[in-house]
Amino acid sequence: MSGAGAVVAVVVALAACTPGGQTAAPQPGAATTAGPPAASAAPSAAPPATPSERASAPPSEAAASEAPPTGDATACPPAVLAEIDATIDGQLAAFRDGDFARALDFATAGFRSGFTPERFEEVITGSFPAARRATGHTSRQCVTDGSEASVLVEVSGDAGSQELVYQLSLEDGRWRIGGAVPHGGDSDSSTV
């Protein structure tokens, strides 16, 4: 499998991995650009097309709705990972400050069009308490085709820690967050 199908499979595999089932994963605590785990799964249905459909879709469909990398995905180069980490750090700082309008500034245009700051705060506070109060994050795995990226991230802080798979897109020369799902594809959790 190559091209977009392979990358979608990698995104789905990252979201569905269990901590004991990861392949090519770095040692705990290490920031990385390690390659993605082997993947054989592919999405079973077409992703939701509109922001409102994405907001109400199950996490696995909503994450796939932000376009995954479309070319051949490779491990993120260090400079790309640094830019992505800065975007995630900025959004986490806005969450901590309770500034959800600023937090939305780090999101893709498609994501922003589906959320008000108030609705975004409800989702983050209710479903992602570790992200809401995170004091930092560690990128575990990152794959990109140069315009889209998927990153396995552990956010941590006084509210605990949580692993999330972030989807990002390069828009106007900046990496922006298109959404995140809990690592493991927990279907009872919301999608950001």
Residue whose pair of structure tokens reads 């820690």 in the numeric block: 161
Residue 60 has pLDDT above 70, yes or no: no
pLDDT at 45 over 80: no
Q: Which of 115, 108, 103 lies closest to 147, judged by CA? A: 108
Domain ranges of the chain: 3-42+50-182
Given a cut of 80, is residue 71 above it in pLDDT? no
**Mean pLDDT computed over every residue of the chain:** 72
Please give the CATH architecture assigned to the domain spanning 3-42+50-182.
Answer: Roll (3.10)
What does the pLDDT read at residue 70?
53
Pair 86, 137: CB distance under 8 Å? no
Q: Which residues pair with 138 in a beta bridge?
A: 154
Residue range 109-125, pLDDT digits in tens = 999 999 999 999 999 99
Q: CB under 8 Å to 90, separation ≥6 — which residues? A: 106
> Given a cut of 50, is residue 166 above it in pLDDT?
yes
Tens of pLDDT along 126-154? 999 999 999 999 999 999 999 999 999 99
Q: Which H or E run includes 4?
A: helix 3-16
| Secondary structure of 19-81 as H, E, C letters | HHHCCCCCCCCCCCCCCCCCCCCCCCCCCCCCHHHHHHCCHHHHHHHCCCCCCCCEECCHHHH
Comparison of pLDDT for 165 and 9, the residue scoring more: 165
Q: Residue 25 pLDDT > 70, yes or no? A: no
Q: pTM here?
A: 0.65
